[in-house]
Amino acid sequence: MAEMPFIATALAIAAAIHDATGVWLDRLPFTPERVWRALRDERQG
């Protein structure tokens, strides 16, 4: 049960990143480099 707040927080942050950028991140931690890479991959693919 100790992990539940972490999971909910991670999902909320992932949803906020998606709302702001239009891409979903599926790995933790959410780093600026991973966001940029996901944006680049979305544009190329």
Domain residue limits, the chain: 4-44
And the tokens for 29? 């931690």
Contact between 25 and 14 under an 8 Å Cβ cutoff? The reply is yes
Residue of higher predicted confidence among 5 and 17 = 17
* pTM assigned to the model: 0.78
Mean local confidence (pLDDT), 14-22: 97
* Sign of torsion over alpha carbons 41, 17, 22, 4: positive
